[in-house]
Homo-oligomer: A and B are copies of this chain.
Amino acid sequence: MMDYSLGKGDFENWVVSDTAFSPDTLGKTESIMYLGNGYMGLRSATEEPYLKEVRNLLVSGTFNKFSEEEVTELPNVSDMTRLDIRVDGERFSLELGETKEYVKQLNLKTAELTRTFNWTSPKGKELRFHFRRFVSLDNLHLIGMKMDIESLTDPVEISFDSGINAQLSNTGSQHFHEGEKRIFDKRFVQLIQTTIESNIDIVLNTAHQLTLNGKNVQEEPVMNMDRRKVWLTFDLALQPGDKLELEKLTTVYTSRDKEFDTPEYQLKKLREHSLNDLRSSSEKGYDALFQSHKEAWKNKVWSVYNFEVNSENPFDQLSLRFALYHLTVMTPAHDERMGIAAKALSGEGYKGHSFWDTELFILPFFTYSNPEVAKSLLKYRYHGLAGARSKAKDNGYEGAMYPWEAAWPTDGEVTPVWGAVDIVTGEQTKIWSGFIEQHITSDIAFAVYQYYNVTGDQEFMNKYGYEMVFDTARFWTSRLEWNKAKQEYHINNVIGPDEYKEHVDNNAFTNYMAHFNIKLAISYYDKLEKENPTLLSNLTKQLDLKEAYKLWKSKLTKIYLPKPRKEDAVIPQDDTYLHLNVLDLTKYKQADKVGTLFSEYNLEQVNQMQITKQADVMILLYLLEQADNVFTNEIKQANFDYYEPKTTHDSSLSLSTHAIMANDLGKNELAYLLFKKASEIDLGPFMHSSDHGIHAASLGGIWQAAVFGFAGIRLVEGKLRINPRLPKHWKDMKFTINWKGQPVSLTITNDILTIHPLNGGMITFEVFGNTYETNQEMEVKLEEETSNIF
């Protein structure tokens, strides 16, 4: 049972709690309370094992392919969180005996997981348990665990097994060769594994420190080894009132780590280095290591991203902090060769792959809040040009065709080919996204555009950005299909954002975004011609831009862009959508479980109805406002009213875009509801929605709904627009964005926007149609003309 009210004092609205243990809904807190630091993610499985548990330790960038028939994925590294505890010889399990005062909680401020409870064994012995755990943000390789057991009533024998277990797999696929196992000094346990295809060495070291009533326990544990497993068995007698404390510290290193991924790499050195790190960490101990970790969170996260909301519903404040926590732990900010996974580092879902989720739903947060990290993520896509170019070539196109799913930058397309069962034929359905969901390429170009305009980072553009935009535009001109009858360019046989509709022609989003991408390339070419002809000349040589530019110019205006219908301003999602039958979705939209529709209809049948999975025309209207701003509010309103009731929101990417659009259109209460719904995707009461991992994009979406939605921040035609419309439940909100290299603090109430360029640089911005300029704190009275409200 989730509870959000347990944080007190300094931790008010900082604590996510589960106050009732249930062995059938373990996935919920395992996922949403997972710990990480971008280098690795550790699913928050309980120490003692349960049937339905999923233990995951995922290390960014360690992709491996089990076999030619499978796609590469983030492998599940060894577990060291499991403790098999026996109390007087009986297995300790919360399914047995009696449990009181159970609380498992994640403190977002300190990024510490704790679990406390009193447990009475079936034999009647009462014990107090207290578990703590963190994945250090100070030393990215370090995991700290602590267990206290206090005997409350009786003398009791405690014994437990603890070590490193590499018998885990990814739902059956084993990515590792078993390497050497070793116990040094009867204390430091080391296990090595090597990925079977990508040949990455993983070295894990763990050490235990045991005290009884504060005194070191001298007795040596029993050492054990089995296949893919090494562990120690401890055995202790407790008298009533005795307190046993265990500290277990672990270091994780891999040969993919930047500092080791060099031609001079030697496993021996990695082993030594990782073991030395553990030895010196062990000398410090849990408390000191946790202190450094907490300070890192303060300095690197909360003092940078501080986000305050005064709401009637404290949950709103918590959910924004929850989003910022997760945006931090999911992001491999330390290594530009790595991207963000769709399920973050919290589970095996989507195999650790990066989708457009990053560029459209997560990157904007970093672009506006921490441009250095945004740059690293965009450089991941720059390195991905290699894979994108080979995908284009393999498909008979020019330039860079980004993979729908991306793993290691040079891997290219890694989308799996087979999905769920077809309930009509009994066959497995084919996943077409890797072949025909092509808008990802322009989405990445858009992200470059947005980053450049918000940050003004010219160096990035010179080194990486222009090349990305030019080569993606080259792809699109080669992709366009000439329709002779209509004398225009079409893009046929694609999947748009609405993935229910496979093999459609002229998906509006895809066509408009391709058009945007080519147009952007032309404008950058023109700009460089004037401003930096040397760079242009270099890029021209490399990418054959002379010829490309000609094609861009000649094809751009002939691209078919589906226009709003005259009668109702509705933009056809694709060539056929508006001719399909309409199904009343009310009952499916109300169902707890997304996807119940598919127990009654197969994809082919859904394909034949006006049913949309997620924002499609909606996201087009929202995105292009930041470029051309060609769609009027009337068009937005008409399309929202037409498409929203036909949208199942069967993607966690859907709600936040709808929340922003609803707020733009003055549907404030609906916007707030959609924001809350988006917040509840992971943090809400649905106990199975996060089983395979948290929804990374929706966490970015929570931030977007608040900042782009309620605060009304928007890049429009290169300028900063701020049209705030707070929910009536909010008194004020306060946060910081980065604009053209400068942090800008914003405080918004219902009447007043207080803006403060913190470095004293001049900023220009627009509020409800009026333009302002300031280089110091300034208040703007918020008065919206009613004509702006829809």
* A residues lining the B interface (CB < 8 Å): 23-24, 49-51, 66-67, 69-70, 91, 95-96, 166-169, 171-174, 177-178, 180-186, 196, 222-230, 420-421, 423, 426-428, 599
Contact = CB atoms under 8 A, between A and B. Distances in A.
A351 to B, nearest CB: 10
Given A49-B51, A51-B51, A222 B181 contact: no
A172 B177 contact: no
Tell me if A's interface is mostly helix, strand, loop or mixed: loop
Given A166-B172, A172-B169, A223-B426, A67 B230 contact: no
Contacts of A168: 172
Nearest to A227: B171
Contacts of A172: 166-169, 174, 178, 227-228
Contacts of A178: 69-70, 172-173
Given A50-B51, A169-B172, A172-B169, A420 B225 contact: yes
Contact of A183 (B24, B67, B182, B426): B426
A169 B223 CA distance: 25
A421 B224 contact: yes
Given A70-B178, A167-B172, A223-B421, 15 more contacts: A69-B178, A95-B95, A169-B174, A172-B178, A173-B228, A181-B428, A182-B427, A185-B426, A186-B426, A222-B423, A222-B599, A224-B421, A225-B428, A226-B420, A230-B421
Contacts of A169: 167, 169, 172, 174
Contacts of A96: 95
28 contacts: A66-B174, A67-B196, A69-B177, A70-B178, A95-B95, A167-B169, A169-B169, A169-B172, A169-B174, A171-B226, A171-B227, A171-B228, A172-B174, A172-B178, A172-B228, A173-B178, A183-B427, A185-B426, A186-B426, A222-B423, A222-B599, A223-B421, A223-B423, A223-B426, A224-B420, A225-B421, A225-B428, A230-B421
Nearest to A225: B421
A69 to B, nearest CB: 6
Contacts of A174: 66, 169, 172-174
Contacts of A228: 171-173
A227 B168 CA distance: 15
B167 A171 contact: yes
A391 to B, nearest CB: 24
A205 B49 CA distance: 32
A310 B357 CA distance: 76
Contacts of A426: 182-186, 223
Contacts of A69: 177-178
A68 to B, nearest CB: 8
A67 B174 CA distance: 11
A422 to B, nearest CB: 9
Nearest to A231: B421
A630 B421 CA distance: 71
Contacts of A95: 95-96
Nearest to A171: B227
Nearest to A421: B225
A144 B49 CA distance: 32
B91 A24 contact: yes
Contacts of A171: 167, 226-229
Report, nearest first, the 10 A-B pairs whose CB atoms are least far apart.
Answer: A183-B426, A167-B172, A225-B421, A174-B174, A172-B228, A171-B227, A223-B421, A67-B177, A51-B51, A223-B423
A78 to B, nearest CB: 10
A229 B226 CA distance: 27
Contacts of A599: 222
A181 B420 CA distance: 10
A226 B421 CA distance: 8
Nearest to A185: B426
A201 B536 CA distance: 57
A163 to B, nearest CB: 11
A421 B183 contact: yes
Contacts of A177: 67, 69
A567 to B, nearest CB: 42
A225 B422 CA distance: 9
Contacts of A222: 423, 599
Nearest to A78: B172
A428 B167 contact: no
Nearest to A419: B225
A616 to B, nearest CB: 27
Contacts of A183: 421, 426-427
A420 B226 CA distance: 7
A181 B166 CA distance: 28
A496 B421 CA distance: 56
Nearest to A23: B91
A49 B230 CA distance: 25
Contacts of A428: 180-182, 225
A515 B171 CA distance: 53
A776 B222 CA distance: 63
Contacts of A24: 91
A394 B423 CA distance: 56
Which of the listed residues A51, A185, A229, A428 has the most CB atoms from chain B within 10 Å of its own CB?
Answer: A51
A587 to B, nearest CB: 17
A49 B52 CA distance: 10
A185 to B, nearest CB: 8
Nearest to A233: B599
A180 B427 CA distance: 9
A661 to B, nearest CB: 35
A169 B23 CA distance: 24
Contacts of A229: 171
A230 B178 CA distance: 29
Contacts of A50: 51
A92 to B, nearest CB: 12
Contacts of A166: 172
Nearest to A95: B95
Contacts of A224: 420-421
Nearest to A187: B426
A229 B166 CA distance: 22
Q: By CB atoms of chain B within 10 A, which of A50, A196, A227, A230 has the most?
A: A227
Contacts of A423: 222-223
A159 B753 CA distance: 57
Nearest to A180: B428
